[in-house]
Amino acid sequence: MALLDLTGKKALVTGIANNRSIAWGIAQQLHQAGAELAVTFLPDEKGRFEKKVRELVEPLNPSLILPCDVQNDEQMEDLFQTVGAQWGQLDILIHCLAFADKEGLTGDFSDIPRESYGKALEISAYSLGHLARLAKPLMTQGGSLITLSYLGGVKVIPNYNLMGVAKAALEMTVRYLAAELGPQGVRVNAISAGPIRTLASSAVGGILDMIHHVEATAPLRRTVTQTEVGNAAAFLASDLASGVTGQILYVDAGYEIMGM
Ligand code: NAD
Ligand code: 0WE
């Protein structure tokens, strides 16, 4: 049997908004490798995301489809309560979400309001530790936590501003969590993906120009796809990566190595 076989593994996937979401690419590749899925959606007043996510994930036969707003403590408790009752155990947790106010993604960095700063760090970085705390008692057979980062957390990328600070916090959170959870056999890693057109990135001015820059500069002379990120996540979730924890894996067509 191939080691990249997730048969019998139970995976909770957050961050699917639509068919362009990186989380959707990950969910599909985990499913392809045989994992059993539970997925979450961010509830909104009209229930539009719930409807979209339910329709989208149907072919993957998820065991659970549940609301998860990481700013809502009660909803987070309920989510893990339900996952625990249904599965009794969790093997894979995908954290694939981020948010910063527009004020945090444009203009002068020094103008970022206190409220925007706190909110972005809470949603985009604190939430990983919060999910880890709730998942910990369910990861009794070891496990794999995977989050999504971006180069803008390590180097200055124009306008990534506040999200850059949030990704720096997220990447350091990965290392501290890896140290905490390693003794229990739980691995914690991040995938730093190159720019991809999604709901979140399309709302950013100039994203197409950035994608063209990567296509011209990256060693592979192209950007990456959601499926390629999904395949890297399947690897990190699998026993093939049993010796890998606390790492930031670049899935960016090699862009990160270039200096000029
Ligand atoms: P996306 O819009 O498809 O996904 C973002 C998700 O965050 C959405 O599903 C949204 O519902 C969720 N979210 C926002 N606030 C939330 C909250 N309070 N509680 C729960 N969920 C919340 O966009 P994406 O590009 O697929 O983003 C997924 C992850 O990938 C993010 O962490 C992003 O920073 C990261 N990433 C994206 C790119 C890119 O170029 N698209 C590159 C590298 C990393
Ligand atoms: O992490 C991201 C984007 C995440 C994101 C996007 C938005 C847009 C809508 C977080 N919060 C919001 N808030 C909104 O109101 N990426 C890696 C994609 C991205 O965003 C950029 C990029 C890239 C790449 C912003 C500026 C420069 C480059």
Nearest-atom index, ligand 1, CA of 127: 19
Averaged pLDDT, 131-144: 98
Confidence of residue 3 (pLDDT cuts 50, 70, 90): confident
Decide if 5 is inside a domain: no
What average pLDDT does the chain have? 97
178: its two tokens: 């890896």
In a domain, 3, yes or no: no
Which band of pLDDT confidence, cut at 50, 70 and 90, is reported for residue 2?
confident
| Cα 109 to ligand 1 centre (Å) | 21
Residue nearest to atom 35 of ligand 1 (CA): 148
E-strand ranges in 71-185 read 92-95, 143-149
Query: In this model, does residue 180 exceed pLDDT 80?
Result: yes
- Name the residue range of residue 100's domain: 10-251
pLDDT score of 31: 98
**Predicted confidence (pLDDT) at residue 151 exceeds the cutoff of 90:** yes
In a domain, 259, yes or no: no
- Let me know if residue 56 belongs to a domain: yes
- Is 90 a domain residue? yes
Reply yes or no on whether the pLDDT at 225 is more than 80.
yes
Annotated active-site residue 160? The verdict is: yes
Q: Spell out where 68-157 has E strands.
A: 92-95, 143-149
Identify whether the C-beta of residue 147 lies closer than 8 Å to the C-beta of residue 251. Answer: no
Where residue 1 falls among pLDDT bands split at 50, 70, 90? low
As a whole-number percent, the residues of the chain with pLDDT over 90 amount to 98
Q: How many domains does the chain have?
A: 1
Mean pLDDT of 169-185: 99
Q: Report the run of H or E that residue 191 belongs to, with start and end.
A: strand 186-193
Residue 204, domain CATH: 3.40.50.720
In 3D, which of 19, 32, 27, 41 has the Cα closest to residue 92? 27
Give the whole-angstrom CA distance, residue 127 versus residue 132. Answer: 8
Q: Does the C-beta of 200 come closer than 6 Å to ligand 1?
A: yes
Q: Is 255 a known active-site residue? A: no
